[in-house]
Structure 1
Amino acid sequence: MSALARCLGVGIAAGALLLSGLAAPAHAASYQYRPSDADWADCPKIPANAKVDTWSCLSIVTVAGKIKLGKIEQQITPPLRITVAQGQLNDGSTAAVFGGLRSQRMKVPGGLIGKPFEVPKLTDVYVETQGTGHVDAGPIFPTNVGIKLRLIHALLGPKCYIGSNSNPIRLNPQITSLELTSIDGVPVFKATAKDDTFSVPGASGCGLNWGLVNTAVNLRAGVPSASGKNSAEFDWYIRGKSYLELQ
Structure 2
Amino acid sequence: MPLLTTRTRIATVSALTALGAFASLGTATAAEPVLNGEWAPFTRCPVDAPAMLAADGFDKTPQCVVSTSAGGSIKLGKTTVVTGRTNLQMGIVQNADGTSSVVAPPSGALVADSATVPGGLLGLMCPSSIPVITSLCETLEGSTLNKITATMESVGSPYAFDQTAGVLTDMPIVALPVRIHLENPLLGGKCYIGTASHPILLRPENRTYPEFGMSFFRGDGTSDESGEMSRIALTGATQNDSSFAVPGATGCGLNVGLINAAVNAKTGLPSAAGNNSLTLNDTRTHLAGLNAPGTVAPEAGRVLAENWHSAVG
For normalisation by structure 1, the TM-score amounts to 0.75
Distance 1:10 1:183, change over 3 A: closer
Q: Which of 36, 41, 46 is the aligned partner of 2:44? A: 41
8 Å CA contact retained: 2:42, 2:64:
no
TM-aligned CA deviation for residue 101 of structure 1: 0.6
Q: Which has the higher strand share?
A: 1
Alpha-carbon distance in structure 2 between the residues aligned to 1:183 and 1:152:
41
8 Å CA contact retained: 2:249, 2:264:
yes
Deviates more, 1:231-240 or 1:205-214: 205-214
TM-aligned CA deviation for residue 129 of structure 1: 1.9
Report whether the alignment pairs 1:232 with 2:278.
Answer: yes
Q: What pairs up with 1:18-167 in 2 under 5 angstroms? A: 37-43=40-46, 45=49, 47=51, 52=57, 53-76=60-83, 78-89=84-95, 93-99=99-105, 100-114=109-123, 119-120=141-142, 121-136=144-159, 137-140=161-164, 141=166, 143-167=174-198
Deviates more, 1:51-60 or 1:89-98: 89-98
8 Å CA contact retained: 2:145, 2:186:
no
Answer with 1 or 2: which has the greater Rg: 2
8 Å CA contact retained: 2:232, 2:287:
no
> Considering only aligned residues, what root-mean-square deviation do their CA atoms show, in Å?
3.5
Gaps of at least 5 residues in structure 1 are 16-34
Distance 1:8 1:89, change over 3 A: closer
For normalisation by structure 2, the TM-score amounts to 0.61
| Paired residue type of 2:9 | L
Q: Which has the higher helix share?
A: 2
Distance 1:4 1:153, change over 3 A: farther
1:19 maps to: none
8 Å CA contact retained: 2:86, 2:110:
yes
Alpha-carbon distance in structure 2 between the residues aligned to 1:4 and 1:166:
38
| Paired residue type of 1:220 | K
Q: Which of 238, 242, 249 is the aligned partner of 1:196? A: 242
Report whether the alignment pairs 1:209 with 2:233.
Answer: no
State the secondary structure of the residue aligned to 1:189: strand
8 Å CA contact retained: 2:66, 2:287:
yes
State the secondary structure of the residue aligned to 1:239: strand
Gaps of at least 5 residues in structure 2 are 16-37, 128-139, 167-172, 216-222, 224-230, 291-299, 306-313
Alpha-carbon distance in structure 2 between the residues aligned to 1:113 and 1:174:
34
- Aligned pairs, how many? 227
Percent of paired sites with the same residue: 28
TM-aligned CA deviation for residue 220 of structure 1: 2.5
8 Å CA contact retained: 2:46, 2:103:
no
Deviates more, 1:89-98 or 1:59-68: 89-98
Alpha-carbon distance in structure 2 between the residues aligned to 1:157 and 1:130:
17
TM-aligned CA deviation for residue 240 of structure 1: 1.2
8 Å CA contact retained: 1:129, 1:150:
yes
Alpha-carbon distance in structure 2 between the residues aligned to 1:74 and 1:119:
21
8 Å CA contact retained: 2:213, 2:232:
yes
8 Å CA contact retained: 1:70, 1:224:
yes
Distance 1:199 1:156, change over 3 A: same
